[in-house]
Chain A
Amino acid sequence: MLLRSAAQRQRGSAAGIFALVFLLAACLCTAVTVYLSGTDSVAGEMARLGYGDYTVWISGAPESLRAELEQVPDVDHATVQPLLFAGYEINGRYSDDEGQLLLADGAVPYRFVSEQGEEMETPEIQPGTVYISPALRSTFDVSIGDTIHFELSRSEEPVSLTVAGCFADAFMGSSMIDMKSFLISAADWNAMRDQIQQASRADALGRAGAMVHIFQRADSPLEPLDFRREVSESTDIALYTAFSYQRESILSYMLLLQNILAGVCFAFSVVLLILCLVVLGHVLSVIVEQDREDIASLKSMGQSGAGIRGVYLALYGGIILLALLLGLATSQEISRLLASAMVSSTGMCISIRFPAAVLIPILLAIAALFALFLRARTAQILGIPPVQAMRETAGERAVQTPLRKRTLGLDMAWRELCSNRRKYIAVGLVAGFLALFLSVIGKMGTWLGPNGEGLMNAFSVADHDLGVQPFNASVPMDEIERVIQWYSPVRETYELAMQSVTVDGQEYTANVLDDTRWFHVLAGEVCDGDSILITDTVASELGLSIGDSVQVAANGRMGTYRVSGLYQCANGMGSNIGMSIQGYSQIGDITGYIWCYHYILENGAVRDYAMAYLQDHYRGIDVHTNSWSGLDGIVFVMHALIAVLYLIAAVCILIAVALAAGKLLQSEMGKMAVYKSMGLFAGRLRLSFALRFLIVVSIGTAAGIGVSLLFGDALIGYLFRSFGIGEFVVGFSLLGTVLPAIAVPLLFFAFALAFSARLKQVSIVSLLSESDL
């Protein structure tokens, strides 16, 4: 009976707590489910399709290579998956990168994806048709029935294949990876291979190659990097390598978008958990304070303190458990919706499985935390004395502050705050944590930029708007430069070559610049002819620091270089080094068509138009901007996520204000009625009431943003290092500083103003009537 009575009286508080805990459970369980299901799905599919411990993309290798690999002591076995590399054109757009044509002979059991993003039965691939990655559909706006033209030879017409559907490409399907796979029939594949082989060296545009999946022996003691080094040094594979990736690297690329999403949701869940505890603590202390008289009466009637406390524990414990369970159930549906919506980004169907082994312990831990918290916060019930003694101790400490006519609303608010500081601490804490989180998220949004400039600059070797790489002497670079100049004056230009090298036996990409000023140097000095720059990733992989000496080798030549500094380039998850043209000339041939001309335009906004024109009108060049196919998706998801988090934050503020304002108003009814009877308008009382929130929240928000300014960059920078992004600096910004500083206090103020509407009904008469009853 006591429980029913408590539930009826406290239904507003209970509903608020329920909503907050539900949001927490839904957000946390969604983050965990998406993360674990994504990892399991992609890793499982990679293993099922036969991705090696590391896989090397090669071209022109002899058939003996596989046998050579299997003679390496730590190699368990190696498999070779043949493929063809070829440039392609879809709907008038040429790809920046070559595509890889896969042979559909049943040896690799690919899965297929329907137009609705669901898994479908394996179809028979007809000659003349091609299956593509779902990510390509969003990049090129290609649909079933469209034609893709593959360029194999200058002397032959491009081979045109019709898109018949999508397949799940677990190795390169993600929109984060520029190279895309095409699954074609054995008849087409063989015909295309023959066309490449028959073309003269000068005419050939495509090339035959393979993915070599290399598996390490289970009992091998070598670390992954040492294993790669052993394979590289024991065989000729380095001579034929186009690029290579460890399983973990491809997994990181494939899961990048999901992991960003899951990571932000997880971080927000932590903030929500803190908010829940703060709000719950506040609500309980206010309720116990309000019910103090009733509790004392019940005790005087013989009810034990533990029994009364049990009522509160049962009510709020039950509500929290119910919210956790409902949040868990809802999260599974949200996860399915998210997985379905992300097919065009992940390139494959993520199979959502309920990760009971992880979620149930997490939820039990949260429930236990809430239980302990509830016990702690309701302990004061045990100390409430019986009626008579209580009356002696009751009463609030009023603080007298001056009241002025012109600033009466503000003065009244200040007086209330000074008198009842403890009641507003929770509101200040909630505002502080929300402001801190929104500020950190805002910093990430600012860094990302409206078009993903942050990621572009972090992943590219050096800033640029447009890059043009000629592949032969017939490319009219002077004409191309006139075209670029027509679109926009060129502010700066430099040249970049990306070449495969080994550093102390470990394979990396060397980013070679003719003008080393363009490297993003984080520490130390820019490199010269005798030194190199390394990323944080390379530094930690090889245990190097500035001043160390390393052996860099390429094309059978080796040189000793000093590490002059650390630089920023997240390309290949940071597995790259920076060299000057002088330094690279000691070990590599600088005279070939390895150089990409980079242009920084006065008006960078026209770069896409210039790129489209050059792609349409010139052959033998690769044109690209500082962007890549998956960037738009990341930018969209990140911006959408920030917007959704602001909405959730607004809902949290609404609930927090509803709970706090409801209790405060209830406890101040008498005082308000007296104020009204003295001639104060309800409007002024409401404004004064909302101003209390504004003052407290402004202090909390300032503290939250201060913490963010002090530690936000370091925190995000630490997280970003796992993606190969070595530096994160944003500082003061609109999205990370100004917006939360304005939005959080204003939302609190607006909601407090709205909830204070019940002051309109307060009158001294109604108060008297209530007490008479």
Chain B
Amino acid sequence: MMKLQKMAAWLAAVCLVFGMAALAGCSPKTVDPGSPPEDVIHPEGTEAPAESSTAEDPGAAAVLEDAVSVRIGQGESKDWAVSMYNNAAANTMLGYLSSSSLLFPTYTYEEEEGFVAQNIRGSYTRDEEATIQDIKAGELYLFSGGQLRLYFKDIPGANITATPVGYFAETDGLTEAVQTAYTSNIGDVWGVSVYFLITKQID
């Protein structure tokens, strides 16, 4: 008889313990992995950019033809086709774009040096950085600080170090389009130099 009484008590206890254990819901405590070692924080070769190489031919890399269409200035209807290089930096940028149009403001306009620029978000590899001597209107470059530049003029002897990310397929009238957009946007409430409306055209 004692056996049955014990059994009843045992069953009740099992129910309660089972319940409490399930209800406690405590996940196991994770062991502190400590702090990352110095070579993770400052790995060799990340302090300075990789040795710059003179651009041989950016076009040698595969090109994503007409990857993006761009309207220069607000209220403009002309779509400019932009081809992007199939490199890591360009692909990261394309990751931010979609088939919906993105209104992209640029705050830096340099008439003399022939570019409009804006710092962009994201982490970009500098592995494909190169030294470019002569720049043609319509070329897009990403600089080490994350600044994206569109050159709207030919700049011979520019001698820049940057990652080529793309180029305007058609450049006739590009200089004038950027200059007109800049002029018409003077006095913008945000202080924007030139607006671009960017739409990704590829999946």
Contact = CB atoms under 8 A, between A and B. Distances in A.
A581 B7 contact: no
Contacts of A750: 7-12, 15
B33 A487 contact: yes
A589 to B, nearest CB: 6
B96 A581 contact: yes
Interface in B1-33: 1, 3-5, 7-12, 14-16, 18-20, 22-27, 30, 32-33
B104 interface: yes
A369 interface: no
Interface residues of B, number: 53
Nearest to B37: A486
B33 A639 contact: no
- Residue in B15, B96, B120, B146 whose Cβ sees the most chain A Cβ within 10 Å: B15
Contact of A606 (B5, B18, B30, B121): B30
B102 A639 contact: no
Mostly helix, strand, loop or mixed at chain A's interface?
A: helix
B134 to A, nearest CB: 29
Nearest to A616: B35
Interface residues of A, number: 61
Nearest to B192: A589
A92 interface: no
A580 B100 contact: yes
Interface stretch (A159-167, A215-223, A623-631, A642-650): A642-650
Contact of A734 (B22, B36, B99): B22
Nearest to B123: A478
B15 A743 contact: yes
Interface string B35-79: 111001111001000000000000000000000000000000000
A590 interface: yes
Given A486-B36, A750-B9, A754-B5, A477 B24 contact: no
A751 B104 CA distance: 72
A129 to B, nearest CB: 34
Contact of B20 (A557, A581, A613, A643): A643
Contacts of B100: 528-530, 580, 582-583
Nearest to A687: B4
Interface of A: 445, 449-451, 473, 477-479, 481-483, 485-487, 495, 514, 528-530, 555-557, 580-583, 585-586, 589-591, 595, 605-606, 609, 613, 639, 642-643, 646-647, 650, 682-683, 686-687, 690, 734-735, 739, 742-743, 746-747, 749-751, 753-754, 757, 760
B156 interface: no
A593 to B, nearest CB: 9
B26 A739 contact: no
A640 B16 CA distance: 14
- Residue in A477, A478, A487, A582 whose Cβ sees the most chain B Cβ within 10 Å: A582
A483 B43 CA distance: 11
Contacts of B35: 613
A580 B123 contact: no
- Residue in B3, B4, B11, B14 whose Cβ sees the most chain A Cβ within 10 Å: B4
Contact of A482 (B12, B43, B96, B107): B43
B14 A682 contact: no
Given A606-B33, A639-B24, A751 B12 contact: yes
